[in-house]
Amino acid sequence: MSISLPSTGTLAIGGKTVHRLGYGAMSLTGPGVWGPPADRDAAVRVLRRVVELGVNFIDTADSYGPYVNEELIREALHPYPEGLLIATKAGFVRTGPSQWHPVGRPEYLRQEVEMSLRRLGVERLGLLQLHRIDPQVALEDQVGELAALRDEGKIAEIGLSEVSVEELERARRVTDIVSVQNRYNLTNRFSESVLDHCTEQGLVFIPYSPVAKGALTGAGSPVEHVAKVLGATPSQVSLAWLLARSPMVLPIPGTSSIAHLEENLGASTVQLTAEQLTELG
């Protein structure tokens, strides 16, 4: 398979330059993002193939497993290749499969950053994103603690996840924010205004669930007809649409299959015409 990630363009984050097709590692856990993957050796092989194919941005979080995902990344890839940026997150507590609860108390965020450093085996986290804003804690206190950790050298850059434009700007009044990770894909554009704002401000926008948990990939996909014309797959067209949407977009498709990984990264060679982009909207 011919994959040319440089054709996607690059973005600068945390002093590193990353290709605009990353990998979301959340899929490498058990059902409900809980516990270890069914086949740990296969998960390790996927992560190693990610790097072999030139991907240098991997997204994870302390809550994926919980903790399992970060430990797996270290097992598969440490010592890390030069230029690889591992982005992790803190601020979500897991109490069981598919259960998520925001916790943004400063002491908890500090604890989780310290533990992520240990699990990943690094002295500084390249990008730490606040996984969710805890409504019970002042946003300024949550972001302020991350800023303190950055000043201590434990975090290189700070990002946010699932925020509005107003929340993003409140956070930016406290400290520098380099990225926003919101749900966004061709059929779910609730975060359109956030994406446009990030583009205007030069902030990286990381759309999670870029192929709508598979809804954009199978038979009946709204991009199926365009995929047939291009000789591509629906997932490739969906990712190519995101890449064309803004130069600040960094999709992170996730999978536990090497075949699907290679298919997803094939989006780097798909060029949508102006007419196709207009048709898809």
Q: Which residues are identified as catalytic? A: 64
Q: Do 223 and 230 form a contact (C-beta atoms < 8 A)?
A: no
Provide the 8-state DSSP code for 247: T
Distance, CA of 275 to CA of 281 (rounded, Å): 10
Q: Retrieve residue 180's tokens.
A: 């926003």
Pairing state of beta strands 10-13 and 16-19?
antiparallel
Edge-to-edge order in the sheet of strand 158-161: 23-24, 57-59, 85-90, 127-130, 158-161, 179-183, 204-208
The DSSP bridge partners found for residue 185 are 188
Q: Are 62 and 70 in contact (CB under 8 A)?
A: yes
**Token pair of 178 as six digits:** 């380099």
DSSP letters, 189-224, are -TTHHHHHHHHHHT-EEEEESTTGGGTTTSTT-TTH
Sequence-distant (6+) residues with CB within 8 A of 150 are 156, 157, 158, 175
Residues 6+ apart with CB under 8 A from 114: 154
On whether the CB atoms of residues 243 and 249 are closer than 8 A, the answer is yes
